[in-house]
């Protein structure tokens, strides 16, 4: 169920997309429970987008809500500015060590989707490196003041190697609280988008004056974001908003990106993404494509799972068996028993590795 508060959060995200010029159609009515709205945008981590979109509606938004959102937006901007400076430092260190790197999500995606690198909330800095460069990466991060986030794990230990085999990343953290997630692959399951990686086409994205970061080119970035969102059943609205902000409102372009992503091995994730984006943001889909997507019962089931996750105002971890649907949905991302079996084994192995 899409409540008035969730609908307003969706409209706020839409008002921030690149090319959006009018926030006048926001559903700011007396039906809004403002305390509930604040909980919704914080749950979905779109506070800064809400603050910016509602800026024109101070007369109808309670002053306390305006103040809370403004404080949240300031913290998000400050965190992103720190992240940008840290990304500049990381990029220089990797360049000096001749270690190739690609930044994913975070600042670059915020700039591409919203035209502003400071409005998208990110809890960490994600980047991709070659598996063969892990020893060099570990040395660089240690030199920069980072250590493994797991206190009982050491670089090169059996636990460290096991985690890298079963998960796409192992987090590092510094004393300032900045978390890095060096990825050796983009997905936990190696059969999803296996060809997208360090050798893929890239683009440079300016996130601040003098700070330009390499990330995946548009087509591969779309495929990656579909799989990333699907891996968590899209339980945060911000992931859907990021995707729609990136691709825009052109149905033909959405179909082009969808077909490329399927060829790249993204499985059912792009179908789920487009059905959810169409339902929440009104993304126009060509009728032939919509019929094709809906013809697969698994696509429809995945979309329903995601919409239920987004509509629930509680975090998955705050609900009884709240993450069960997420784990079950991961089994449906590719056809065939082989994938389902290997994904189930991967999930168990990842839990044991931790």
**pLDDT (tens digit, 9 = 90+) per residue, 13-62?**
999 998 876 555 676 777 899 999 999 999 999 999 999 999 888 778 99
Query: Do both 195 and 230 map to the same domain?
Result: no
The total domain count for the chain is 3
Domain assignment present for 189: yes
pTM for the model:
0.94
Query: Do both 234 and 342 map to the same domain?
Result: yes
Query: Do both 162 and 289 map to the same domain?
Result: no
Other residues' Cβ atoms within 10 Å of the Cβ of residue 269: 30
Q: Give the β-pairing of 179-183 and 125-128.
A: parallel
Query: Two tokens at 184?
Result: 């050796």
Residue-wise burial string across 53-91, b where 16 or more C-beta atoms lie within 10 A, e elsewhere: bbeeeeeebeeebbebbbebbeebbebbeebbebbbebb
Query: Do both 224 and 352 map to the same domain?
Result: yes
Query: Do both 292 and 198 map to the same domain?
Result: no
Domain assignment present for 69: no
Domain final position from 190, 216, 242: 216
pLDDT score at 22: 59
- Half-sphere exposure in the Cβ direction for 18 (13 Å, CA): 16
Query: Do both 203 and 240 map to the same domain?
Result: no
- The residues, ordered by sequence, that sit 6+ positions from 245 with a Cβ below 8 Å of its Cβ are 13, 16, 17, 18, 112, 113, 114
Tens-digit pLDDT profile for residues 160-196 = 888 777 788 889 999 999 999 999 999 989 999 999 9
pLDDT at 1 over 90: no
Query: Two tokens at 267?
Result: 């499985």
Query: Do both 225 and 173 map to the same domain?
Result: no
Tens-digit pLDDT profile for residues 234-252 = 999 999 999 999 999 999 9
Comparing 87 with 349, the larger pLDDT belongs to 87
Domain final position from 192, 216, 240: 216
pLDDT score at 354: 60
Range of the domain at 5: 1-61
Query: Do both 201 and 237 map to the same domain?
Result: no
């Amino acid at each position: 169920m899409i409540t008035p508060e969730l609908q307003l959060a969706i409209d706020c995200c839409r008002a921030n997309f690149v090319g959006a010029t009018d926030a006048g159609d926001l559903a700011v009515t007396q039906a809004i429970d403002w305390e509930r709205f604040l909980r919704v945008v914080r749950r979905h981590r779109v506070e800064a987008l809400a603050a910016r979109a509602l800026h024109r509606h101070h007369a109808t938004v309670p002053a306390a809500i305006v103040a809370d959102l403004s404080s949240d937006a300031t913290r998000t901007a400050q965190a992103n500015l720190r992240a940008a400076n840290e990304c500049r430092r990381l990029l220089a260190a990797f360049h000096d060590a001749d270690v190739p790197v690609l930044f994913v999500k975070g600042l670059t995606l915020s700039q591409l989707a919203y035209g502003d690198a400071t409005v998208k909330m990110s809890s960490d800095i994600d980047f991709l490196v070659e598996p063969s460069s892990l020893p060099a990466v570990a040395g660089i991060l240690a030199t920069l003041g980072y250590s493994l986030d797991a206190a009982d794990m050491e670089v090169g230990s059996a636990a460290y190697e096991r985690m890298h085999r079963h998960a796409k990343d192992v987090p590092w953290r510094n004393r300032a609280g900045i978390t890095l997630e060096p990825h050796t692959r983009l997905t936990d399951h190696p059969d999803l988008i296996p060809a997208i990686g360090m050798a893929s086409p890239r683009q440079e994205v300016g996130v601040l004056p003098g700070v330009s970061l390499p990330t995946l080119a548009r087509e591969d970035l779309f495929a990656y974001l579909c799989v990333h969102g699907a891996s968590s059943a899209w339980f945060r609205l911000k992931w859907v908003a990021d995707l729609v902000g990136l691709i825009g409102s052109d149905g033909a372009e959405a179909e082009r990106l969808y077909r490329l992503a399927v060829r790249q091995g993204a499985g059912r994730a792009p179908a789920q993404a487009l059905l959810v984006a169409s339902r929440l943001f009104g993304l126009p889909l060509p009728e032939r494509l919509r019929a094709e997507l809906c013809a697969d019962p698994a696509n429809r089931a995945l979309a329903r799972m995601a919409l239920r996750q987004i509509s629930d105002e509680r975090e998955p971890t705050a609900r009884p068996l709240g993450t069960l649907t997420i784990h079950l949905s991961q089994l449906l991302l590719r056809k065939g028993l082989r994938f389902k079996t290997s994904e189930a084994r991967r999930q168990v192995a990842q839990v044991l590795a931790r």
